[in-house]
Amino acid sequence: MPEFSPPDTCEQLLAQMVSIETVNPAFGGPVGGEPALAAYLEKLAHQWGLKTRRSAVADGLFNLLITTEVAPDAEWLLFESHLDTVSVDGMTVAPFAMTTVGERLHGRGTCDTKGSGAAMLWALQAYARSAHRSRNAGIIFTVDEEAAMRGAQAFAPSWRTTARCAGAPSPGALPRTPPILARAVRPSAGCCAWSTRWRPVSFRWRTANSP
């Protein structure tokens, strides 16, 4: 497991996550990449006072659940992000050393989907320290999303939440758990926009994948 100092910013956390190669073995990545990243996030979560739980999937892979709880009977809000990435073939920047150009962060996974995972975890540790918490909250880091989605399929039947939000949603892949709904609204080459409704608010965001 890599040794890092605790990150001071969300960007530092993302850079650490990017530096751990988790290209899915189906695309030529190393066996053990996803468990290594999960182990680091688990260690960091414990340093931040968060709870963790591993859930075995297959072939030495496991999902990692990180949570903060207000009360046993409180509503749950669950976020999801996956640990693996696609291949680095064709990339024109260093894949595992995050670089910054203007307001853009470059590196394999900065978009899909270590960027959302880092943001979710950073928000969760801040929420855990907040004096105003009304819901239990957690993040599930799943494995093998880019190939067979074994992590998400193993986890979905075992968890009931009030709302779920996926870091890299795709039609048919996001669990139907009211009151949240995500749908593609403007797909185009290399870019896909999403709108989300979560009572009583609605918002829109855009993701962009680059080779």
Confidence of residue 1 (pLDDT cuts 50, 70, 90): low
The tens digit of pLDDT for each residue in 33-82 reads: 999 999 999 999 999 999 999 999 999 999 999 999 999 999 999 999 99
The tens digit of pLDDT for each residue in 121-153 reads: 999 999 999 999 999 999 999 999 999 999 999
Inside any domain, residue 199: no
| Domains of the chain: total | 1
The tens digit of pLDDT for each residue in 9-38 reads: 999 999 999 999 999 999 999 999 999 999
Inside any domain, residue 27: yes
Contacts 24+ apart (CB under 8 A), 19-24: 19/96, 19/97, 19/98, 20/96, 21/95, 21/96, 21/108, 22/83, 22/84, 22/85, 22/109, 23/84, 23/85, 23/86, 23/87, 23/88, 23/108, 24/84, 24/85, 24/86, 24/144, 24/146, 24/147
Inside any domain, residue 58: yes
Inside any domain, residue 171: yes
Checking if the pLDDT of 192 tops 50, the result is no
Inside any domain, residue 186: no
Among 18-27, 89-98, 174-183, the minimum mean pLDDT is found in: 174-183
Structural domain range at position 48: 10-177
Inside any domain, residue 195: no
Inside any domain, residue 59: yes
| Domain of residue 67, CATH code | 3.40.630.10
pTM of the full predicted structure? 0.81
Highest mean pLDDT among 146-150, 155-159, 188-192, 206-210 belongs to 146-150
Inside any domain, residue 187: no
CA–centroid distance for 175 within its chain: 15
Q: What is the pLDDT of residue 168?
A: 66
Q: What is the pLDDT of residue 158?
A: 77
